[in-house]
Structure 1
Amino acid sequence: MHTEHDWTTTPVTADLLRGALDLEHTGRGVLPHRLPAAARAQIPDGQLAMAESQPSGVRLVFRTRATDVELDVVATKRVYAGVPPRPDGVYELLVDGRPMGRAVATEGDTLTIDMAAGTMEPRPGPVATLRFDGLPGDEKDVEIWLPHDETTQLVALRTNAPVGATPSGGRKVWLHHGSSISHGSNATTPTGTWPAVAAALGGVELVNLGFGGGALLDPFTARAMRDTPADLISVKIGINIVNADLMRLRAFGPAVHGFLDTVREGHPTAPLLVVSPLLCPIHETTPGPCAVDPASLGGGQVRFVATGDPAETAAGKLTLTVIRDELARIVKERAATDPNLHHLNGLDLYGEADHAELPLPDSLHPDAATHRRIGERFAELAFTGGPFGTKES
């Protein structure tokens, strides 16, 4: 165990965090947020409030000679009624960009979610201590990536040598917004989400605004992107619009224009990449809403189904096929006066051949291997000789 004489306690402050847009001080520590307070005040549903507090892409970054690191956290464990227990969130430690350790918090607060009843019941739990030891003793950059899918309050950071902030190093900042797939659903580690994979290959600093169930063209998200410093920007639009059955075609086009207009207010010339949906067979030609397949509850794998009527697309109901065509049209028209606006067909990231080899386990989200493939594809198409051009081909 540590003693106060051989450990240094460093307050967790904003200058030690990357990938978070806000830091809330709670009664137990600090809680990183991926949306600022003004945006959070306008969130209309518990799902998005939960998703933005899950620190996908958020990491502690510091420079130190420490060989031992301890981090006290309060993790929020989600328990879904009628669904097998979720795995514990993973904390990954990197030294100068190389993986050097993993840890999990097996206890913490508990949030019991009943999807059928639409209820969430919180219960407080204990602080957990994560320990990483045996690190190299020279001066180094340490990153601790927080779990992408587990809300985490940071209570205390202890090291056996002083800690200082790490300079940015001049790397470009990539700001990305998307759905649960961008958030990291079904990835097994925080550096294994497809945006984290792509960022590592592209040599950029990631700010991930991928929100499970929350890529809905919300104006407050667009304003958050407008106000966030970034060199490269991407928005992945479509799957949540369809599976929430949120809008018809008449509303979708203007909503896309409005979202892009707002982002452009803060980033008038930055490369801006609009990404259409990946392949998702249940919603290619069938509208939403999406629902949990009742037959899968109580089994080993929850699955999702589309419950809309394909015939209703004639009346403006949205499918992924319709959205891909509309996004291609919008970007082509806008690019005539915005040469830094680009389009990427999501089928080039994950299409029919990929699905045949790596099907979506729950019919909606990719597994860990597929996240890596999508990240590698994105890096190739966007960063290596693509519109982001941060690496030479």
Structure 2
Amino acid sequence: MTSQHDDTAGPAASADLLATPLTEELLRGALDVERTTHGLLPHRLPARARAQFSDPQLSLAESQPSGVRLVFRTRATTIELDTLRTKMAYVGAPERPDGIYDLVVDGQLTAQASTDGGNVLLVDMVKGSAETKPGPPGTVRFVGLPEGAKDIEIWLPYNEITQLVALRTDAPVEPPPSRGAPVWLHHGSSISHGSNAASPTTTWPALAASLGGAELVNLGLGGSALLDPFTARAMRDTPADLISVKIGLNLVNADLMRLRAFTPAVHGFLDTIREGHPTAPLLVISPVICPIHEDAPGPSVPDFENLSAGQLQFKAAGDPAERATGKLTLNVIREELARIVRQRAAGDPRLFLLDGRDLYGEADFAELPLPDQLHPDAATHRRIGERFAALAFGRGGAFAGTGRPTGTA
């Protein structure tokens, strides 16, 4: 099995291949699909939600296709996918690695590739500005696939906006049959989104879904897990068998609300989800360990000291004494989430709590520190994913007995 990347986006160069129209029927993990002048743009929030905010950070996050994959059944041994990506870059920092496309064949990660070309979103963190520099589409090419009929998944880069332009294969394509696996709908912050994971199938939610035998819909939204009502409504209206919400870190590092607002916002968020999913297992996950914000409120601010060496880090700008005025810290949030879940569980036996420190705690930080003080590395994503699968899908867990363990992660 080999994979290639090319920036020519050349359907003419591959005229011997069959072109298959790209449709929503071939996508999983997206809540909405926008038709652009180039092709299909997957969204992870529906149009109604996108109309209710103007935050560029959320616009970027929801249009980065974490957990979104192209799925089909085919006998093809060659696959070409033309895409137009938008890749992020930071002024004064080394170039970021290209996003990865993971090819999964019959449930097994088989090949990886990247594409050239595309747009560049150039961010100046000092000035707080951004501009988009346009570029051409590129092509991801997978060759030498096994003979015979097989189920194909092409997981899109979690960190690049990806417009799907064209799909070509050397054999016909059809939508795959349903796996019959439970749909797991998850919402969280940039850690759930995938920040610093090695590839789209190795973000912790993707790993956990594979180990638990679930179909993932990932609403991990970098910088944007902020208890927004439109996100709760999107979750309410999305078909799902299993639901989890990871709450906390973004509320601290955005310094968005105080304890007085936090408590009713959590209740409202859970109430809205329950309107559409009254009996599904609903798992509330408190924050993983993050030393800079355990007892220091936000906001988180960039530390530019080592930016030229590619080491952008963050620090807490809040004063621990401000907790007395209702400012949020991670410890405050954990305590309040535990109280809220205990209170609600009396009338909601399918509501559960998972302490995020059981996924990544003090001992883990000592062994695998957060490189920028906020986000995990690839090894930590794997650890969190494996632990979540054991704690949530395993015996006695919130999702126990619901998945079909695959062991393919």
Q: TM-score band (shorter)?
A: over 0.9
- CA deviation vs aligned residue, 1:110-149 (integer Å, no higher than 9, x gap): 1111122222211211010110000011100000000011
User: For the residues of structure 1 that align with 2:72 and 2:278, how far apart are their CA atoms?
Assistant: 32
Counterpart in 2 of 1:196?
Answer: 206
5+ residue gaps, structure 2: 1-9
**Partner AA of 1:224 in structure 2:** A
- Within-5 A mapping of 1:165-184: 165-184=175-194
Counterpart in 1 of 2:286?
Answer: 276
- CA deviation vs aligned residue, 1:321-365 (integer Å, no higher than 9, x gap): 000000000001000000000000000000011011100011100
- Is the aligned partner of 1:360 residue 2:370? yes
What is the TM-score when the length of structure 1 is the normalising length?
A: 0.98
- Say whether the 8 Å CA contact 1:384–1:391 is kept in structure 2: no
- Say whether the 8 Å CA contact 1:290–1:304 is kept in structure 2: yes
Q: What is the percentage of aligned positions where both structures have the same residue?
A: 69
Report the secondary structure of 2:260's partner residue. helix
User: For the residues of structure 2 that align with 1:137 and 1:392, how far apart are their CA atoms?
Assistant: 26
User: For the residues of structure 2 that align with 1:250 and 1:150, how far apart are their CA atoms?
Assistant: 36
Displacement of 1:379 in angstroms is: 0.2
Counterpart in 1 of 2:156?
Answer: 146
User: For the residues of structure 2 that align with 1:179 and 1:44, how far apart are their CA atoms?
Assistant: 18
The answer to which of 85-94 and 110-119 deviates more is: 110-119
Runs of 4+ in 1 over 2 A off after TM superposition: 1-6, 390-393
Counterpart in 1 of 2:306?
Answer: 296
Counterpart in 1 of 2:3?
Answer: none
Counterpart in 1 of 2:37?
Answer: 27
- Within-5 A mapping of 1:106-185: 106-185=116-195
Displacement of 1:319 in angstroms is: 0.2
Displacement of 1:392 in angstroms is: 8.5
1:266 aligned residue (263, 269, 276): 276
**Partner AA of 1:139 in structure 2:** A
Report the secondary structure of 1:303's partner residue. strand
User: For the residues of structure 1 that align with 2:266 and 2:13, how far apart are their CA atoms?
Assistant: 55
User: For the residues of structure 2 that align with 1:234 and 1:196, how far apart are their CA atoms?
Assistant: 14
Counterpart in 2 of 1:41?
Answer: 51
- Say whether the 8 Å CA contact 2:73–2:150 is kept in structure 1: yes
- Is the aligned partner of 1:234 residue 2:244? yes
Displacement of 1:43 in angstroms is: 2.0
User: For the residues of structure 1 that align with 2:169 and 2:304, how far apart are their CA atoms?
Assistant: 48
User: For the residues of structure 1 that align with 2:95 and 2:382, how far apart are their CA atoms?
Assistant: 24
**Partner AA of 1:335 in structure 2:** A
**Partner AA of 1:184 in structure 2:** G
5+ residue gaps, structure 1: none
- Say whether the 8 Å CA contact 1:63–1:139 is kept in structure 2: yes
**Partner AA of 1:118 in structure 2:** G
